[in-house]
Amino acid sequence: MTLQQAETPPMPISRRDAIRLGMGGAMASLLPNLAVNGRAVAADSPKDAAAKSIATEEDRNFFEREIESFLPDKIFDAHAHLFKQGTVSWDLKGLPPQVGYPEYQALIQDLHPKRRTAALFLPAFSPDKKDLLPQCNEWISQQVALSKDCVGGFFVKPEDDPEWVRQEVKRLKLRGFKCYHTMAAVTPTWETQIPDYLPEQLVKVAGEEGWSITLHMVRSRAAADEGNQRWIERYCRQYPNLTLILAHSARGFQPAHNLEGLHNLKGLDNLYFDTSANCEPIAHQAIMRIIGHKKMLYGSDFHVSHLRGRSVAVADSFLWLYEETPVWKEKQGTIKPVMVGLENLRSLKWACWSERLSDNAVEDIFWNNAAKLFGIS
C-alpha cells in the first residue's frame, strides 16, 4: 500500500502508550505508520467513501476520540457480510439495497477510514429467501474476484450433499463455509446442538480440503456449554487441517461464559476466534489470556456493524440495545448511540490495553494472523 506520509517525522510513541494516555485525534497524528487525520492516504481507498458514508457526527467524534490512535494501518475484516439485491427482506437505514466489494470498501470507511482493508466475505440473506442461496454464494464469488486480498465463504445448509458442496466451493474459488443455526430442523434453533446445523460430513470435507468454517455457536451458555465444547473439540481434533473460527469472540456476549468455558478448548491448534460485533472487553480479553492473541481475528460483522447500539451482558445472558430501543433518555440527558462496529472496536482496544499487548500483537489481531491463515501478502 502506497502511503503519502506526513511531512513531520513521527514521535517515538507506541499505540499502547497512546491508549494509556488517552490520546485522541490530535495526538494520534503523531503515531508512526497510522493513517490518521487525513495525513496518510491509502492509494486504493475508494474515492466515493464520503458519498457512501452513513456516519453521524457522534460516530465521527467517537472514532476520533476513542479509536483513531489505536487502529493499525492494515485491517483484515474476518467477518463481513455482502448481499445481492433481492436476497434480503430487510432494509437497513442508509445502506444501499445491494452491497458488493465496492460498496463495502466505501461503507467500511465509517469504521476504519484510510486504512488498507481486506476481508473474509460471507453471504447475507433473509431466512424466507433461502431458496436464493445459490445466488448469494455466486455473489460472494464475484466480489472476491475483484480483490486479490479478499477471500470468501460458502453458506451451507445441513442437508447439503457434501460432494456437491466440495464441487461448488472449488468452482466458485471460495475458501470455506459459513453455517447458521436457523437452518437446523430443531425448535427453538437457539438451543440447537452444533451438528444440527453443521453436520460432521460437511466438516469432513472442509478438513480434507484445508478450508475454514465460521461458526456462530448458540445455546444459552455458549462456550461454557458442555455440548458446544464437546463438538468443537471433536471437529478440531478429528480434522486437523480444518480451521474452525468461532464468531463473535466465541459468542461471548456474556463474558462469564468465556471465562468459564475457554479453558476446556485450550490446545486446539486449528481453533480461531473472530471478534465481530462483541462489545464486551472481557470476552476478548478471556481469549487473549486463556488461548492467546495469535488465535484472534478482527471482524466487523458488516452490515450489523452499521446499526447503532451495542450488546450488554446481563445476569447469565445478554441483550441488545438498538437505536430504537427506548432506553436512551436518562436523568443526565439523552444518549446518542454510535455504530455497533465502533463500540466493538473500543471494546477490543480496552482488552488489548488491559492485557498490555504490544503494537505488534495488536497488528497480529488486525492483519497478520488472518494474512498468515489465508495466505495474503
Residue pLDDT, tens place only, 285-320: 999 999 999 999 999 999 999 999 999 999 999 999
Classify 15-374 by CATH class.
alpha beta
Separation between Cα atoms, residue 123 and residue 133, nearest integer Å = 8
252-280 confidence digits (pLDDT tens): 999 999 999 999 999 999 999 999 999 99
Query: Which parts of 185-275 are beta strand (E)?
Result: 212-215, 243-246, 271-274
Q: How far is CA 339 from CA 58, 111, 132, 220, 343, in A?
A: 9, 8, 29, 26, 7
Weakest-pLDDT range from 23-37, 92-106, 134-148, 309-323: 23-37
Report the C-alpha gap between 190 and 192 in whole angstroms.
6
Mean pLDDT of all residues in 98-108: 96
| Sequence spans of domains, the chain | 15-374
- Tell me the pairing of strands 309-314 and 317-322: antiparallel
Residue 29, pLDDT above cutoff 80: no
